[in-house]
Amino acid sequence: MKIKKLDPQVVTKIAAGEVVTGVHSVVKELVENSLDAGAKKIVVELVGGGKSQIVVSDDGEGMEKEDLLLCYQPHTTSKISNFEDIYKLETFGFRGEALHSICSVSKVTIRSRPVYLPVGHEIEVVAGHLVYERPVSMDHGTVIIVKDLFFNVPARRKFLKSSAVEARMATEVFERLALSKPQVHFVLTRDQQVVYNLPSADFLTRVKQIFTDIPISQILQIDSSEGSMKLEGVIGLPSIVRTSRSTIVFVNERFVVSQLLINAIYSAYSDYLEHGQHPFAVLKLWLPSKEFDVNVHPQKLEVKFTNEEKVFTFIRDSIKNQLKKTIAKVLHVEKV
Ligand code: ADP
Ligand code: MG
């Protein structure tokens, strides 16, 4: 016989590799959990590019001891209870895989305290095994400390990039999360140095907090709607053309990768940009959750729309009209 059943530990390590690909995916999963917990302030600390240590602290709803003892086990979630729920998701998470994956490939301490309890509880999990649990005195919220990512999977540890590159990728993920929820106070430190301290703000202010190099006179605000779709965000005038891809798109606050959306944006700029020039755009598309599906990939970046043409036309025309209006105004002023 050539076929044998895989050892559950091997299955876990393979599955964890789908969710955790590097420091950036740990940051993404932990911050999304904090956002799902209704945090108003989230602090991310990276040590050694996050390869030595990643800490995410929040002031969200926290977990009771019983939940804490479940949260790192496979397929445990408080966010859905049946399959249909994923078509009306209000949360980032739903698979109940992230903490389990992270805990099975690193050394994790989790402490958590709901606001209505006087003390918190702490657990340590190393390579998926509970080492200890104990009550702990702490502020309400949750603190997750992830040490030595992939320490028990040397073949994967080898594929982590340099500390500088891991930190840069994690910073990009952090920026997108901060853009998706500008009302939340976000802090990022790297080896104890503050990289970002972004107090709660409106969306335009958050864009300015992050893209400090973009002159405010060169950006336009987009605010349009059609039926149940709504588009909000900022775009750059063609004068701030960039040399590499600079478009960030969110669908219902979730950062997504979608060729359809990219094409719609580029198509709106087609009269103004030459080949190899890229527009600047940070856009938020809102639509009823039954009109799109993000359930395509464990990293949940790809998105499929029920009516692609409707979405494409709406995005392209919203941007195109705004560009046309502004450029016509500028030309008129120049003539006068
Ligand atoms: P998912 O987010 O898909 O539900 P996770 O493995 O990321 O799965 O988390 C498992 C569960 O642990 C969550 O459903 C939530 O109940 C709880 N949890 C995780 N992180 C936090 C946090 N920062 N604050 C409160 N609860 C949390
Ligand atoms: Mg999660």
Rounded CA gap, 47 and 177, in Å?
20
pLDDT in tens, 255-304: 998 899 999 999 999 999 888 889 999 999 999 988 888 766 666 678 88
What is the Å distance from ligand 1's center to 108 Cα? 14
- Which contacts of 189-193 are long-range, i.e. CB under 8 A and separated by 24 or more positions? 189/43, 189/44, 189/45, 189/46, 190/45, 190/46, 190/49, 191/46, 191/47, 191/48, 192/45
pLDDT in tens, 225-264: 999 999 999 999 988 877 777 899 999 999 998 899 999 9
Question: Which-ligand-closest: CA of 38?
Answer: 1
Rounded CA gap, 146 and 108, in Å?
5
| pLDDT given for residue 335 in this prediction | 61
Confidence of residue 333 (pLDDT cuts 50, 70, 90): low
Report, in angstroms and rounded to the nearest whole number, the Rg of the chain calculated over CA atoms: 22
Pocket test for ligand 1, best of 25, 30, 36 (most atoms within 8 A of CB): 36
Q: Is the pTM of this model over 0.95?
A: no
DSSP-assigned letter for residue 127: T
Question: Which-ligand-closest: CA of 96?
Answer: 1
Pocket of ligand 1 (CB under 6 A): 29, 33-34, 36-37, 58, 60-63, 71, 76-79, 93-100, 142
Whether the Cβ atoms of residue 120 and residue 137 lie closer than 8 Å to each other = yes
Q: What b/e sequence results for 3-33 when a residue is b if at least 16 CB atoms lie within 10 Å of its CB, and e otherwise? A: eeeeeeeeebbebbbebbbbbbbbbbbbbbb
pLDDT in tens, 75-110: 899 988 888 887 777 888 888 889 999 999 999 999
What is the Å distance from ligand 2's center to 20 Cα? 12
User: And the tokens for 62?
Assistant: 């926290």
Residue 143 three-state SS: strand
Structural domains of the chain in order of their starting residue, each with its CATH number: 8-198 (3.30.565.10), 211-335 (3.30.230.10)
* 74 vs 106, more confident: 106
Q: 147 vs 47, 79, 141, CA distance in Å?
A: 9, 26, 20
Residue 228 three-state SS: coil
- Residues pairing with 231 in the sheet: 224, 285
